[in-house]
Copies of this chain bind each other. A is one copy, B any other.
């Protein structure tokens, strides 16, 4: 049986313009790997209703789980919730359960629940709220799509809220050996190793450090004994 699959949709002009360096993809990728869920595709799109809805439909159809980040705040450019509702063809409005969360929070902090902040209570019909212990305004899950904030601290807490509700796969075991030789020197034996262990994923990730070429060889699989056996053969081959 294969592991559950996932895709991520990063929403934000600020990533595409090079203003902001995205960190949510890296965080989510690591968390999913721990849970045995295979992240198969990531897309980054701009803050446009059509771009968001089209990508959401495509990824929701193709994968078991979709995680979005960005565009659910109170400002005029936060259009993710409405675009996702459109993608699913369901109505969206300020919802009582989300409004109650915000009302309690802003009463506690002495801020006004103004019309801008109320936008954060716009939740599509049938969606389930995602808990946000950091800043209260909830994310939501509709169908297989988990809609989360873009601010990293909030995104990360929402991921932590969602992950326990998902079906885990078999966590991947991953071992790495660094070889300080150019890939061209090691590619032949490595291809033989990969052919001998075709139940494992064996990747070579080259680097260039202080003018020296090397590669990290990463062996991944769900069977620890097989990963160890491949590692042993790798070590023997390259005198590690």
The residues of A with any CB-CB pair to B shorter than 8 Å are 10, 13-23, 25-33, 38-47, 51, 73-78, 111, 114-117, 119-120, 134-135, 150-151, 153-154, 172, 174, 176, 182-188, 190-191, 194, 201-208, 213, 215, 218, 220
Contact = CB atoms under 8 A, between A and B. Distances in A.
Interface centre among A46, A150, A187, A188 (most CB of B within 10 A): A187
Nearest to A14: B205
Given A111-B185, A188-B115, A190-B76, A41 B32 contact: no
Contact of A33 (B18, B188, B220): B18
How many copies of the shown chain assemble into the complex? 2
Contact of A18 (B29, B41, B191, B206): B29
A116 B22 CA distance: 35
Given A75-B190, A77-B204, 11 more contacts: A13-B203, A14-B205, A15-B42, A41-B43, A41-B46, A41-B51, A43-B43, A111-B182, A116-B184, A116-B191, A151-B207
A116 to B, nearest CB: 3
Interface centre among A111, A134, A150, A184 (most CB of B within 10 A): A184
Contacts of A187: 73-76, 114, 116-117, 119
